[in-house]
Amino acid sequence: MKTMTCRQLGGPCDLAHHGETADDVINAQDAHLKEAERAGDATHQEARDAMKGRWRRPRKSLDWYRGTKEAFAALPDD
């Protein structure tokens, strides 16, 4: 299990996401950003818009995805 924060994934806060894989924390970040958007949290809007764009254009977002997977792999286990 490893931990990445919202900020490490491009967001504005330090909420910790835990997962066995990079995809686990990416999906947790997506859910966090969706919830922040529903709650009207404007501080997360830029990150939410970026995440929406990545889901819509996955080929164009491969650099972000690869970088996130590499950063996750380099983290120590919790």
pLDDT in tens, the chain (78 residues): 999 999 999 999 999 999 999 999 999 999 999 999 999 999 999 999 998 888 888 787 899 999 999 999 999 998
* Structural domain spans, the chain: 2-74
The helix/strand/coil state of 11 is: coil
Neighbours of 21 (CB within 10 A): 13
pTM here is 0.89
The helix/strand/coil state of 5 is: strand
CA separation for the pair 69, 35 (Å, rounded) = 23
Closest CA to 2 of 23, 16, 18: 18
pLDDT value for 56: 86
